[in-house]
Amino acid sequence: MSIARIKGFADMLPPRSDQFTRMENCARDIFSRYGFVELRTPLLEFTELFQRSIGEETDVVQKEMYTFPDRKGRSLTLRPEATAGVMRAYIEAGLANREAVSRLFTTGPMFRYERPQKGRMRQFHQINCECLGSQSPLADAELIIMLMRFLRALGLGELTLKLNSLGCAECRPRFKEALLNYLRGVDRHALCPDCARRVESNPLRVLDCKQPGCRALTDNAPRLADYNCPDCKAHFETVLSMLRAEELPLELDHRLVRGLDYYCRTTFEVVSGSIGAQSAVAGGGRYDGLIRSLGGPDAPGVGFACGMERLALLLGDGAEQRPDFYLLGMEEGGRMQAFALAQKLRAAGLRGEMNFSAGGFKSLMRQAGKSGARCCLIIGPDEVARGDVSIKHLDSGEQRSLPQADAILYLKQTGTAND
């Protein structure tokens, strides 16, 4: 019996793997224009890193991490998200001493032991950006503008940027108290069971519950923005005015909250209407206390994460790159010449493959057609004798014969190259 892959883990073949490559290449192109450099962190970290950065009380840490002891009994965890590892690397490399602002992006797999019935993958992929070292609202605005540019460059339509300001350590406690007073006044039985519990443990999360009953009850709840201190207000106003200047489709959303204490001020989410229902494709915000809480310098930060599986759902298959040729060598002699010619075509930048084994002409032509190539190049006994190659344009059926030495020039001149 063959061995199957693990549930929740996917093999990616084209067109899916092409989509992922396209997303990564697009990210590299756009982010590098803004000075972001790529950071690759290990997939495996000490468990304590995630306990401290994500928080012991979260579902991620309590139920969803792939945690196991190594051979020396140390507790290790497959990263459930990227930010913690980026922060650790930032601290360990001493980047704060080397540059005023660090702009880092990372892409790759994350792991969460989620219930499979939710349809989520246990290995999923993200693109993450973190701008570290600046408290300025310009950092928030630039990161968000860059994210929107990236999503548009991918061809995503109907984007809405949702924003909220979470306030700071000074003003948020006053909001929490007002919210708590409000929630204690509502009928606890009208809330969903999760929210009834959250009222005392994490009241902010009641605001972003998706249940209609909970939403109705929190429509008139106090709003974070009304409790922001003057500094937080000024920060948010600056971010908003810079985003408006770029004519981004923004929408204030008082339900946009984050459960953890180190999140502060700007928080955002991008939703796309590309496949009918609104679906969140990216989210992020400012987290000024996180690096210090991990034992690093008192460096502020702002960042976002994009779920690549979610993005892939919204992307078309895209213009696939057609191979330039399929080289068909008939009989042993033809295949030997075809092999040599194939190497020359590729050295010249052309893309394509050849048949390795013998076969009937018809079935070999079928293979050529299947490959999607623009041209089929044929070297049979006649061509071998003359040092020629026959070139058949697979779309038009047009065919001609020419010396093998002229094949590169011909393929390039007939516009079949992908450049």
Minimum separation from the CB atom of position 213 to Zn ion (A): 7
CB of 296 closer than 8 Å to CB of 289: no
Q: Which residues contact 203 (CB under 8 A, 6 or more apart)?
A: 176, 179, 180, 183
Nearest to 304 by CA among 159, 115, 107: 107
Q: Which residue has the tokens 């930060």?
A: 301
Q: Which residues contact 305 (CB under 8 A, 6 or more apart)?
A: 81, 82, 83, 126, 127, 128, 282, 283, 284
Other Cβ atoms closer than 10 A to 389? 27
Supply the DSSP string of 4-16, one letter for each residue. PPPTT-----TTH
CB of 358 closer than 8 Å to CB of 331: yes
By CB under 5 A, name the one of 23, 96, 214, 378 that touches Zn ion: 214
> Is 101 or 186 the residue whose CB approaches Zn ion more closely?
186
Q: 85: helix, coil or strand?
A: helix
Minimum separation from the CB atom of position 140 to Zn ion (A): 14
Count of residues near Zn ion by CB under 5 A: 11
> Is 79 or 265 the residue whose CB approaches Zn ion more closely?
265
Minimum separation from the CB atom of position 227 to Zn ion (A): 8
CB of 217 closer than 8 Å to CB of 191: yes
HSE (side-chain half, CA atoms, 13 Å) at 132: 29
Question: 364: which 2 tokens?
Answer: 């070999």
Question: CA-to-CA distance for 264 and 232, rounded, in angstroms?
Answer: 9
Q: Can residue 282 be called a binding residue for Zn ion (CB under 5 A)?
A: no
Minimum separation from the CB atom of position 216 to Zn ion (A): 11
By CB under 5 A, name the one of 96, 232, 256, 391 that touches Zn ion: 232
> Is 95 or 195 the residue whose CB approaches Zn ion more closely?
195
Q: Can residue 229 be called a binding residue for Zn ion (CB under 5 A)?
A: yes
Q: Can residue 202 be called a binding residue for Zn ion (CB under 5 A)?
A: no
Residues between 161 and 200 with contacts to Zn ion, criterion CB under 5 A: 167-168, 170-171, 192, 195
Minimum separation from the CB atom of position 219 to Zn ion (A): 13
Minimum separation from the CB atom of position 230 to Zn ion (A): 8
Minimum separation from the CB atom of position 351 to Zn ion (A): 54
> Is 39 or 209 the residue whose CB approaches Zn ion more closely?
209
Minimum separation from the CB atom of position 248 to Zn ion (A): 24
Question: CA-to-CA distance for 404 and 341, rounded, in angstroms?
Answer: 7
> Is 139 or 394 the residue whose CB approaches Zn ion more closely?
139
The span of 102-110, 137-145, 211-219, 301-309 binding Zn ion (CB under 5 A) equals 211-219
> Is 91 or 186 the residue whose CB approaches Zn ion more closely?
186
> Is 142 or 208 the residue whose CB approaches Zn ion more closely?
208
By CB under 5 A, name the one of 209, 282, 299, 328 that touches Zn ion: 209
**What burial letters (b/e) apply to 126-151, b meaning 16+ CB within 10 Å?**
bbbbbbbbbebbebbbbbbbbbbbbb
Q: Which residues bind Zn ion (CB under 5 A)?
A: 167-168, 170-171, 192, 195, 209, 211, 214, 229, 232
